[in-house]
Amino acid sequence: MRVILRMVAWRVAFAVPLLLIVTVGMFALAKASPFDPVRQYLGDRAMVTAPEVMERIRENWGIDRPVLEQFTAWLGNFLQGDYGESRTFHRPVAEVIMDRLPWTLLATGCAIVLMLVGSLIVGTIAAWRRDSWVDRVISGGAFANESVPVFWLGLLAMWVFAVQLGWLPAGGLTDPASTTVDPLDVAHHMVLPVLVLAVSQSSWLVLFVRESVIGTLREDYVIGARARGLRERTVLVRHALRSALLPFLTLLGARMPELVTGAILVESVFSWPGVASASVQAALAVDFPLLAVTTLLGTLAVLGGNLLADIGYTIADPRVRTLGVG
């Protein structure tokens, strides 16, 4: 317990400078990128906008001022709780985030849970029935799944479940015609995106679980557990899988950025009004105020995910605990 508390404290202490560095990095990237925020802001209209008008917008935004000045101004405002105005959405950043974040959290949260449980079960079954057709289908499917763009998977799911079978709505947060946000309706609309996000991100997890369980299944302690006459399920879950959890937990933390990328695509395929899809628009439009906040959120998610993973494997593997992880 003390180890964990100390770890959390360390992480929190590290988080502040890290967040600062990440924003500076983001700012530098945004500056170095060849994208022109004004052109992106104007979109199609950029073509028919006089250069003088563009110049004026640039001036209004202050993006012609020195880099350092721009950054300190932004940081100052940020620390005072003023997150600025999103250029892509023409609205205050705080509002954009508040509108969208809950939906992203909801969908990705569900997807993470589904992904975890699903890949543990599926991966273990594949390892257990190694080289059988079940294993072949699972691991072949996982490799194929990793080769298929998320986008495709989304369209395919939509085609099957929404068009052909008509079981589930194909997209959106609620029924397009409804004017209220009914939880049941949202849940119904959430099924496909959550499923697709979970499936699209689970190849690594499934295969790594399989790999590790295959490894542990041949260890003496699993034979020991068998010798005790434990049920196969107990042997599999509490001995083989339990000891194989380490890389899996790590992967969870490490796959966070991939999950965000997946969320971006899934949100855009299923017209899910989350913050992830907004972040790509923000990046392409070099909408720094929004980009900075989405990046900070992303950083927090990654830090949180990694911290949980680290705590997880300190708990999962007592041998690591004795050495301590920083």
74-103: contacts with another protein (CB under 8 A): 88-92, 96, 99-100
Under rule CB under 8 A, residue 273 binds another protein: yes
47-76: contacts with Ni ion (CB under 5 A)? none
- Choose between 109 and 257: whose C-beta lies nearer to Ni ion: 257
- Minimum CB separation of residue 76 from another protein in Å reads 22
Residues between 210 and 239 with contacts to another protein, criterion CB under 8 A? 211, 214-215, 217-232, 234, 238-239
**CB-CB contact of 290 with 282 (8 Å):** yes
Structure tokens at 132: 């059988």
Residue 66 binds another protein, judged by CB under 8 A: no
Tell me: does residue 16 bind another protein (CB under 8 A).
no
Q: Is 64 one of the binding residues for another protein (CB under 8 A)?
A: no
CB nearer another protein, residue 48 or residue 68: 48
Tokens of 201: 């991100």
Least Cα distance to 272 among 197, 172, 175 occurs for: 172
Nearest approach in angstroms of CB 70 to another protein is 17
State the minimum distance, in angstroms, from the CB of residue 42 to another protein.
Answer: 5
Q: Which of residues 255-284 bind Ni ion (CB under 5 A)?
A: 258
* Residue 190 and residue 113 in contact, taking contact as beta carbons nearer than 8 Å: no
What is the closest distance, in whole angstroms, from the C-beta atom of residue 227 to another protein in the complex?
4
CB 241 within 8 A of CB 222: no
Can you list the pairs that 133-139 forms with residues at least 24 positions away whose Cβ atoms lie under 8 Å?
135/210, 138/206, 138/210, 139/206, 139/207, 139/210
> Which position among 279, 288, 292, 293 is part of the footprint of another protein (CB under 8 A)?
279
Contact residues for 313 (Cβ-Cβ < 8 A; gap 6+): 245, 246, 249, 250, 320, 325
**Overall size of the chain counted in residues:** 326
47-53-55 Cα angle (round to 5): 105
Number of residues that bind another protein (CB under 8 A): 148
The torsion angles phi and psi of 304, rounded to 5 degrees, stand at -60, -45
Q: Which residues bind Ni ion (CB under 5 A)?
A: 258
